[in-house]
Structure formats: structure tokens, C-alpha cells
A and B are shown apart, each in its own frame.
Chain A
């Protein structure tokens, strides 16, 4: 039986919008393919020195206060995280996690939190706390060369700019900035996005895309996850597309 290792960073702080559900979904979909998902966590003060031993590193979203509190700890891990990213560990990051991997995040109080600068983008939040991108969102992403609609819910004050390779094209909703054409950030081993829902709950193919990448990298031969019973997910998507893409 294959085993995949996932590191959930700050699960006790970055868990604002049911984002921990993504870990539950990866575990569920791995389990259906006979793959065991071993979940470890990194919280403030933990001495995690080797991030590249993990196949997936996951960060959820949090409130401004929490992002401020954990910023110092995250910076201490900068080199280790960078080397894991460069060695091919998959990075899945939602909302706050997405922002913190960029150059910096300037929050709604004007406070500048330095990011890990893994990527070129940066985020500035509106100083008017009520000025947020909130609502259902549908984007069109390219996964393994195929178009796939990704559906979720965005709720962010931060406006992310200088995104070199966006995750998808916005079909309904705001995206990286107000009324933006693009959403999130993607690389072969990165998906960073504002989409909650949680993200993977209504986008089973996206979850399988991650599993395929990880298993291919791990086993050294192309891996394609077997189809499983996704009837509920497929029907859910149909209902929501009919409602949101009018």
C-alpha cells in the first residue's frame, strides 16, 4: 500500500472557512484508491527542519490577527520550505496561505506582513474592512492540459497583483482582485487560490490532479487515479453551474 505524507501548516490557526475539509477530502479520495494519507501538522514553535520529506504541504486561510501572529514562525521556515518547493513537493494553499507565500501581505490595518517570497505576487488589502470580494465564484482552469471548471466561494479583502501564471480564468465572481479576469496561481506543483468551499469538495478532478502528480513523482511512473463514485459531486456541479453561469 502506498503512503502519501501531507503536512498541514498551522491547522489550529488557518482554519477559518472549513478549509481543513480539503485534508479530509484528499484523505478520502486517497483511501478509495488504496493510498494511505499520513497527516502531520506544523504549529507555532514546532521545529520542522525538513519539509521536503512531505509529498504535500497544505496551508488554509486565517484572519488578519492570526496571520500576523504566525508570520514570524513562518519566516523561520523559509529556507526549508523553499527547498521542498524546489525539490517538487506539492503546495496547496488557500486564501491566507496563498497570500503568505508571495512577496508580502499588507493587511486592512496597513500592517505589512512579509511573505516567503516563493513567488512574485504580492497582496494589498483594502483599508475599508467592508470592501471585500465575497461570493460564489467559478473559474476555468487547465489541469493536465484539460479545461476544468473549478467552483468555490471567495471572501477576501486582499487584492493580489503581479500574478505571472494564474490558476484560472474567472467565469463568475471576482478573482485575484475586484472584477479581475484571473484567479489564483498555479505551477506544476503549486495550486494557490482564494477559493473556499472547501476547494476540493466540489472539484473532485482537482483533487485527483494533485493525487496523480504526487503518485507519479513518488512511483516514478505515470499514475492516473481510478474513477470513483462521484455522482453527488457531479450533480452538485450541474446544479451550481446552472445557477451561477447564467
Chain B
């Protein structure tokens, strides 16, 4: 370790201690300060344990939480895992995390680091920390004003992978992800997973998607079927891209039960959405690399809950509410599918913010397919862009008189829970935690009254 890096860590540790002394949660700030002082600050950490990272547009937090749970289950309850369960997935967030965990010489003591990493930060972080396994879930359009076009993002990750030789777990059904398996022809550690056609798959695309053209020869990709968005069985008729054989295939997906089969073994997951099955496919494939026992997987798939606004269930009075984060059209469409497949009348709350971390541009809501609304008796909208989402839903043909706009979250909860029944809530990135907090406030307020 050079003198500069040594001093960086020393300074950082002092900073964290001082913040703690004055009772402040250090958060992202120390990492930000360190990056400003020294662009190579991540190199100053000495990490000897394997690092497993999860990236992709949707599902990072869930998959990271699952892996973290699995690695500390069964016979391994005493293993020490360092993870960013709550996100903080940018370079500065990872720096803050490691700063909090290391000693004054920058040594990080753990059995595994399991990290979710923002797609655009994979290269900058792992050019400085040695990565053992990278899981890539999917690439969808997401916050274009912040991230740029999806293609730019994929090329960034691809460039990093050209010299990477570690484990690569890839969603073989997403052409944007599968193409990364060819980034480094010398990497022998590429592991694809795939999910067999499920009952809700369609022959034609159902939602807006990326990757219509072959990334290698620009030919239009041919699809046997679409599971959701552009995820499905695809193949390039010209160059044959898409014919790689997946190592893990999730078979016999039954969302009613719900259940699926991998390697001849039947699992009964606790949720029933196709995108969630893909997340579990990724979890399974990564777990396989680390020889995780089947009973741990059974137990985790059946009982573990991420909560934190990911398919999280709340009981408020006699109403049952399912809350799900949606940062982009694909995420929102997935929740709408779950809602539609739920029999009977229901109400929807949509909370839409346009803060920096959401992307200031909310036009992505027009790529959400609201025309599929089934038995939705009322919609409440909230957040800094409550009106935008209300207009969007109205123009899909929904009766504007059944839309209630309440930009303030507490007002929204009062209106939302003024009726009793089955309810669904979708909130975008900066809206999800305030929404959960408002639900809890409302619940406590009414139950103590």
C-alpha cells in the first residue's frame, strides 16, 4: 500500500469515528470525501475474501439479499458477510461500506463480500477490487436522463468484461445480458441460466423492450416466445447468437401453485411473478458455484422475504396490501401483471417522484401498459409527479373520476385506506421508503386510535 492510500484510509477511519462521536450515521459521505481526495481510494482496502457482485437493471437488491441469506444459512451461520443490503450501490457507497468495516490499515475481514453494484459502476469499482463472481440479471431502459441509453451502459460493462476471467452468471434469456458471455472468449467461467416457457409467455412482445437487433450483426432477432419485456427464447437467424446452452434451466414454472423445478428438484417459492422466478434462477446458479446445499435453497426460496418494498405485504385493518418498487416500465408492468392475475376487485396506489435518483424525466410511465387493468375499482396517485401518473392512467382509457390525486403521502394513505379490500401499491425509487413509512404511520395511527 502506498503512502497516499495508507493516509487515505487513516483519514477516512478518523472521519467515520468523529461522525459517530457526534452521533451521525456516516452514510455515503465518507466515501464521497475519500473519492474526492483520492480516485484510487478503493485500492487502499485489503480484501482477501471472495467478492460476489450482482448487477442489472431490476432485481439487484433482491438477489443480493437472497445470496446473503443463503451464505449464512445452514451450517454457515457464523460466517461473516459484508453486504450493502439497502442499496448504496455506487462507488462512493461501496467505499463508505468498506471504510466502516476495515481496520486502520485498510484490512477488511470477512468470509464473503456480497455486493449489489449499479451497472455503470461495475468497471470503476472492480478495476480496483478483485471480483470473483459477477451476476448480471437484465438490462432494461431505466432513467435515461441519468444513465444514458441502455446500449451505452451495456458497452461499459462489456469493456470491463473483455479482460475479466472470473465467474460470470448471466441471464441467457436476455440478449443484452447473454451477449456479455462473449466479451472475453478466453473466459471459461461463463454460466448461463434460463427459464422455460411459462403459461403467461406470449408469441409477440407484450411490453416495450430493448435488444430487438442482434448486437453482433444487426440482424433482427427472432423470438420463439417472450416471457416478459424482451426476455425470452431468442436467436439471431444470421449469426446464430442465442444458441448457447444454459447450465441451469428453471423448468415447469407454475405460478398458481407456485412452483418450479431445477435439476430435477421441485421448489415452492413464496411469490408468483415471472421476474421473481428469474431472480431465483440467478440465485440458484450463483449458489451452485459455492456448493450450497439443496435444503438451504428450499428453505430460502420458501420462507425468506426481502421485504423493504420488494413484494412486501402489509395488513392494514382488514385490507391486504402488496407493495412493490418499480423504477422503470418493466418493473411496473410486472406488478400490474401480478395485480391483474389476482382475482376480484382491487385498488391501486401509484407513487411517482422525480428526484435526482429517480431520473427527472418521468416519460417512462408512458411505456407502462395500463390498458390491461382488470377489476381496478379506484386509483390513488401520490408523489411529486402524482398528476403525471394520473394523466397517464386516464389516457389509457381509465375513468378519470375514479382517480384520486393526493401529492402528499399521508393524505394519499387516508384516501387509499378509506375503503377496505385488496390493494396494490407501486412506488418508484425515492418514493418506496417514504411510502412504506407512510403506510406504517397510517397503520399505527389507526390502530392506536
A binding-site residues for B, Cβ under 8 Å:
12, 15-21, 24-25, 28, 63-65, 69, 129, 134-136, 153, 155, 196-198, 201-202, 229, 231-233, 235-236, 239-240
Contacts and interface: CB of A to CB of B under 8 A. Distances in A.
A155 B391 contact: no
Contacts of B36: none
Contacts of B396: 24
A22 to B, nearest CB: 9
A21 B148 contact: no
Contacts of B276: none
Contacts of B405: 232, 235
A163 to B, nearest CB: 23
Interface in B330-379: 360-367
Contact of B364 (A17, A202, A231): A17
Nearest to B365: A18
6 contacts: A18-B367, A135-B145, A196-B363, A201-B391, A236-B391, A239-B387
A12 B400 contact: no
B212 A12 contact: yes
Contact of A153 (B149, B361, B391): B361
A240 B151 CA distance: 31
Interface residues of B, number: 32
Pairs A-B, 5 closest by C-beta atoms: A18-B366, A21-B366, A236-B387, A18-B363, A17-B363
B151 A65 contact: yes
Contacts of B367: 15, 18, 20
A198 B363 contact: yes
A202 B391 contact: yes
Contacts of B366: 18-21, 24, 198, 201
A63 B395 contact: no
B400 A18 contact: no
B327 to A, nearest CB: 15
B388 interface: yes
Given A16-B144, A28-B397, A129-B152, A21 B388 contact: no
A135 B151 CA distance: 21
Nearest to B212: A12
Contacts of B362: 153
B363 A21 contact: yes
A28 B397 CA distance: 7
Contact of B395 (A25, A69, A136, A153): A25
